[in-house]
Structure 1
Amino acid sequence: MSNTPDNAVRTAAPAESVRTYIDAHRAAFLDDLAEWLRIPSVSADPARATDVRRSAEWLVAKLKDTGFPTAEIWETGGAGGTDGAGGTDGTKGAPAVFAEWPSDDAGAPTVLVYGHHDVQPAAREDGWHTDPFEPTTIDGKLYARGAADDKGQVLFHTLGVRAHLAATGRTTPAVHLKLLIEGEEESGSPNFPALISKHADRLACDAVIVSDTGMWSAETPTVCTGMRGLTDCQIDLYGPDQDIHSGSFGGAVPNPATEAARLAAALHDADRRVAIPGFYDGIVELTDAERELFAELPFDEERWLRTAHSHGALGESGYSTLERIWARPTAEVNGIGGGYQGPGGKTIVPSTAQLKLSFRLVAGQDADRIQESVRAWVTASLPDGIRHEVTFWGATRPCLTPLDHPYLQSVARSMGRAFGQKIRFTREGGSGPAADLQDVLGAPVLFLGISVPSDGWHAPNEKVELDLLMKGVETAAYLWDDLAETTSAR
C-alpha cells in the first residue's frame, strides 16, 4: 500500500498550475480569513449569539462569492426559523451553513465537507500575547482564536476549489461538492444529530471529508483514519438514610463510600483490561499493518509524558501507548467522592457516595450496549443494603475508515502530492460528531487537516502555520479530481 507522490499522479490538475494560482491569491485569502477571525463566534456564550450568526452570514456570503450556487443558513434547535431542526427543549441553537456546487459530470461522486465556524472563548487576560480576535501574523504564524480550530481549515476549501477549477479549466468541480459548517461544535453539538437527520436527503453523499483535525507534525504529515466514541455516567450509591456513627454501626452495615471504592478498583483486571463483562464484544481489532504504521511514527514517549504532566505510562497490557490512546477502548474514573471531606476526622458511615466514569469506545462497540453492560455490572457488584442510580449523559459513536478504502487512499495521494512525501496514518483518541455523519448518511468519513499539536487548540495563543495552511489548500485542489477518478475506476 503506497501513497508516495511518484505513483500517485493520475490525470489530476498540474501541480505547477495549482501552486501558481494559490501563490497569486494567497494574500487575498489571508485577508478574508483575518476578517472572519475578527468575528468572536463563541457558541458557549449566550452574549455572543449575534456574533455566531454574523459568522454564519459572513461564510454564506464568502461561499457565494467563491462560486457556490447554493449557500444558506440552516437554523438549529427548537422553534424559530424555517429550517429549524426541531430540538426538544424549545430553545433555538446556533446556525449552521450549508452550501452545494454540483458538478457538470452527472456520474461524479458527491462529497460533503464538514467543519465548524464557532470557536472557544478567549480573552487577553487568559494569557494571550495578542488580542485573540485581532489576527496577528508573527514569523509565518497567524495567531487568533479559530485560526486552526476551525475557521482556517474550513476556509482553505474555498481557495482549494478555485485552484482546482483554474488548473483544470473546469467551470464546476469534478465532484458534486457540499459543505456543512456547524455552529455549535465547541458547545458539544447538541443539535447536530437532529440537524443532519432532518436534512439527510440534501446531505446525501458518497464520502464525508472532516476538516477539523490535525497531523502528527509539520515534518511528518499524516491522515487520521478514525476517532473513538464516548459515553460517560455518574453512579450514585445510597446506604443509611443519614450519616451514622462508625463505632456503633461500622462493620455491620454497608458503607456506600467503600462500595464506590470497590467499584473503582474492580473496573480493571490485573492486565489493565476493562473487567466489565461483554465490554470487548464485537470490537474491531488492530491489524498488523496498522500496528506497523503506528510504530513508524517518531513517537517520543518521554516527551509525550511531559505534555501529559504525568510521571509514567500505564495501560492495557500488550499494546503500545499510541495503540492504547488511538485504537483501544478504555474506562476511566473521572471522580469519586462521598462522606466527610472537611478538616480533621469525622467517624461516620456516610449515607451516600458517587462515582463518575467515562468510556472511550472503538469501532464495533455500541454505546447503548455498553451502557446496558455497565448497569448490569454495577447491579451485580453491589451488596444488599446499597441502593444505586446510574445516570448516563449521552453518547458519541466511534468511527473508523479501513486503511485500504479507496477514498482514504485518495486523500493520502492528494496530501502526498501537496507535501511531496509519504503520508502516514494516525487515529484520534478523542471523540467528535464525525460518527453522526457516518451513521446517518451511511458514507465513509475521511479526515483532512493540516493543524499541528503546537497550534494550541482551545488554549491561549492559538495559531496556524501559514505554509501548512497553503498545503491544505493545495491538497483540496488535487482531491476532487482524485476522488472522481477513484470513483469511476471502482
Structure 2
Amino acid sequence: MSHPVDSDVSAVRTYIAQHRAAFLDDLAAWLRIPSVSAQPDHAPDVRRSADWLAAALKEAGFPTVEVWQTSGAPAVFAEWLSEDPQAPTVLVYGHHDVQPAAREDGWDSDPFDPVVRENRLYARGAADDKGQVFFHTLGVRAHLAAGGRTSPAVNLKLIVEGEEESGSPNFRTLVEAHADRLAADAVIVSDTGMWSEDTPTVCTGMRGLAECEIQLYGPDQDIHSGSFGGAVPNPATVAARLVAALHDEHARVAVPGFYDGIVELTDRERELLAELPFDEQQWLRTAKSHATHGEAGYTTLERIWARPTAEVNGIGGGYQGAGSKTIIPSSAVVKLSFRLVAGQDLQHTEKVVRAWAAEQVPAGIRHEITFSAGTRPCLTPLDHPALQSVARAMGRAFGQPVRYTREGGSGPAADLQDVLGAPVLFLGISVPSDGWHAPNEKVELDLLFKGVETTAYLWGDLAENWLRAP
C-alpha cells in the first residue's frame, strides 16, 4: 500500500498531465495580448488582458472575480473562500502587464505569437509574469481534485496588477483603497525566480528601487567653445563629474547617509549563499559581461541580492551627430537608479540624494532633480513558518531539498507588506536564462508545471501548519 503522501503526489501529477494541453492553449491566448503598460498605444490591450484574466479565473472556479480600475491600468482581484472557518487567508500577487517587445529587437519569432521550441515557450510575458500568474489557476484545481475538495484549504485571494512594468505608480493607492478586501495572513509573490533548473530555491527578499533624473542647465543656448570655453561652466562636464562622484574607490555609494538603517547580512545567510553552486564565469556569460565589479568585501551574489546600489542608467548632453561641433551645450542630463535593501527608506534615500546632488553642482549651473514613484525593499526571515511551507511544497514538487536566495530586482511586494501587515513570501520557477525584459523571453515548460504542482501542495501545507506558527 502506498504512502498517503505518495498517493497525493500521484493524484496531483495525474491531474496536471490530463490538463496540460488545455492549460498551455489558454496561456498562449493570454500571451497574444500585447499588454505593454509603458506604451500608451497599448492601453486598450492592457484592459483587454485584465478582462481575459478575469474570465479565465471565473472558468477556473473562483466564485468572486472583479476588475478593479485605477487612474492607470486595471488590476484583477479574485477570491475563493475555504469551507474551514479556521483556514488562514493567503493573497497571491502577480502582474499581467509586460515589457515592450518587437521582432526587430532581436527576437527569433514574433514576441506576441507564442511558440514552443525544445520544450520552452517563447513569448513576451511567458516568464514575467503571465506564466507565473497563470500556473495558480491549474494548481488550485489540482489541489481540489487530489484532496476531493470543493474549496481550497486556505482562503485564497489573487491581486494581479497592470502597471508593474511601469513602476506600479497606482498600486499602493489601490491596496490602501481595498485593504479590507485584500486582508491576508500571508502574501505569496509569484513574480520571481529560482537558482537553476537543477537547484530549486525559494526567494526570501527583493530589493527596492528609487529612480531619478537630474537635468543640468548652463548657458541659455549652445555657445561657441572658442569664444566662451574655459570661462563659463559646462553642464556636460558637470554631468560627468556628478557621475564620477557617485562611488568611492571601493565601489561604495558615496552619497552621505545612503546606507543609514540597512539590515546587514547575518553570518548564517552568508553561509547559505556561499553553498549555492555559483559559477561566476557562467553568470558573466548570462550577464553578457566580461568582468565582475562592485562593493569591496562582498561576493557577487551578496552584491546583487543583499547590498544597495547606485547605477547610471543614462547620461547625455551636447552634440551627438557625426563629426564635430565646437560648442558648450546649454544642458545635460543624468539618469540614476538606486536598488535598496531592507532597512532603507524611500523618502530618506530621496532626501540624501537631493542633498548630495546640490553639493556637486557648481555656481552657474541650475539643476532640477525628479524622482519617479519608488518601490520598497522587503525581506522574510528564514525561520518564518509560512516560508517553511513554501519550501516544503516546492521540495515535494521537485523531489529534493530547497535552498534559499534573494532577488536583485524590485517589485511592489513591500507595499502589500506595509499596508496589510502580512509577511511576504516568494514562489517562482523562472530561471536566469529566461530572459526577462530581453529578446526571446521564454519559460521552461517542465519548470512551469513544477510551479503548478508546488501550488497544489502549498495550500494544504499552509492550512495544516498555520496553527503552529507563532
Give me the TM-score of the superposition, normalised by structure 2. Answer: 0.91
Measure, in 2, the Cα distance between the counterparts of 1:462 and 1:336. 28
Residue of structure 2 equivalent to 1:24: 18
Letter in 2 for 1:18: V
Residue of structure 2 equivalent to 1:58: 52
Structure 1, unaligned stretches of length 5 or more?
1-8, 78-92
Measure, in 2, the Cα distance between the counterparts of 1:137 and 1:269. 47
Are the counterparts in 2 of residues 12 and 478 from structure 1 also a CA contact under 8 Å? no
Residue of structure 1 equivalent to 2:186: 207
Measure, in 2, the Cα distance between the counterparts of 1:281 and 1:256. 31
Q: What is the deviation of 1:27?
A: 2.7
Residue of structure 2 equivalent to 1:324: 303
Measure, in 2, the Cα distance between the counterparts of 1:52 and 1:348. 45
Are the counterparts in 1 of residues 169 and 373 from structure 2 also a CA contact under 8 Å? no
Given the superposition, is the C-alpha separation of residues 470 and 247 from structure 1 closer, same or farther in structure 2, using an over 3 Å criterion? closer
Letter in 2 for 1:391: T
Are the counterparts in 2 of residues 13 and 168 from structure 1 also a CA contact under 8 Å? no
Matched, 1:295 2:274: yes
1:192 aligned residue (166, 171, 186): 171
Q: Tell me which moved more, 152-161 or 257-266.
A: 257-266
| 1:109-124 matched pairs, under 5 angstroms | 109-124=88-103
Given the superposition, is the C-alpha separation of residues 425 and 382 from structure 1 closer, same or farther in structure 2, using an over 3 Å criterion? same
Q: What is the deviation of 1:481?
A: 1.4
Note the aligned Cα RMSD (angstroms): 2.6
The residue matched to 2:406 in structure 1 has which SS? strand
Residue of structure 2 equivalent to 1:281: 260
Given the superposition, is the C-alpha separation of residues 28 and 398 from structure 1 closer, same or farther in structure 2, using an over 3 Å criterion? same
| 1:245-394 matched pairs, under 5 angstroms | 253-341=232-320, 350-394=329-373
Residue of structure 2 equivalent to 1:38: 32
Letter in 1 for 2:28: A
Q: What is the deviation of 1:340?
A: 5.0
Measure, in 2, the Cα distance between the counterparts of 1:281 and 1:10. 51
Given the superposition, is the C-alpha separation of residues 276 and 168 from structure 1 closer, same or farther in structure 2, using an over 3 Å criterion? same
Measure, in 2, the Cα distance between the counterparts of 1:213 and 1:408. 15
The residue matched to 2:373 in structure 1 has which SS? strand
Letter in 1 for 2:384: H
1:448 aligned residue (404, 418, 427): 427
| 1:83-122 matched pairs, under 5 angstroms | 93-122=72-101
Deviations 1:415-445 (A, max 9, x none): 0111011211222212122222222222121
Residue of structure 2 equivalent to 1:231: 210
Q: What is the deviation of 1:60?
A: 2.1
Deviations 1:227-252 (A, max 9, x none): 11111222233445555666676555
Q: What is the deviation of 1:339?
A: 4.5
The residue matched to 1:331 in structure 2 has which SS? strand
2:70 aligned residue (69, 73, 76): 76
Are the counterparts in 1 of residues 167 and 374 from structure 2 also a CA contact under 8 Å? no
Matched, 1:163 2:157: no
Are the counterparts in 2 of residues 13 and 164 from structure 1 also a CA contact under 8 Å? no
Identity of aligned residues (%): 77
Measure, in 2, the Cα distance between the counterparts of 1:451 and 1:65. 25
Given the superposition, is the C-alpha separation of residues 177 and 94 from structure 1 closer, same or farther in structure 2, using an over 3 Å criterion? same
Given the superposition, is the C-alpha separation of residues 131 and 394 from structure 1 closer, same or farther in structure 2, using an over 3 Å criterion? closer
Given the superposition, is the C-alpha separation of residues 196 and 252 from structure 1 closer, same or farther in structure 2, using an over 3 Å criterion? same
The residue matched to 2:248 in structure 1 has which SS? coil
Deviations 1:396-433 (A, max 9, x none): 11111122221111111110111011211222212122
Given the superposition, is the C-alpha separation of residues 193 and 311 from structure 1 closer, same or farther in structure 2, using an over 3 Å criterion? same
1:172 aligned residue (151, 175, 182): 151
Measure, in 1, the Cα distance between the counterparts of 2:64 and 2:328. 65
Measure, in 1, the Cα distance between the counterparts of 2:242 and 2:41. 42
Letter in 2 for 1:167: A
Q: What is the deviation of 1:255?
A: 4.2
Deviations 1:447-472 (A, max 9, x none): 11112222233334333222211111
Given the superposition, is the C-alpha separation of residues 309 and 136 from structure 1 closer, same or farther in structure 2, using an over 3 Å criterion? closer
Measure, in 1, the Cα distance between the counterparts of 2:319 and 2:118. 54
Measure, in 2, the Cα distance between the counterparts of 1:131 and 1:294. 38
Measure, in 2, the Cα distance between the counterparts of 1:236 and 1:130. 39
Measure, in 2, the Cα distance between the counterparts of 1:146 and 1:240. 45
Q: What is the deviation of 1:11?
A: 8.1
Q: Tell me which moved more, 442-451 or 189-198.
A: 189-198
Give me the TM-score of the superposition, normalised by structure 1. Answer: 0.87
The residue matched to 2:312 in structure 1 has which SS? strand
Given the superposition, is the C-alpha separation of residues 64 and 235 from structure 1 closer, same or farther in structure 2, using an over 3 Å criterion? closer
Are the counterparts in 2 of residues 338 and 354 from structure 1 also a CA contact under 8 Å? yes
Q: Tell me which moved more, 381-390 or 299-308.
A: 381-390
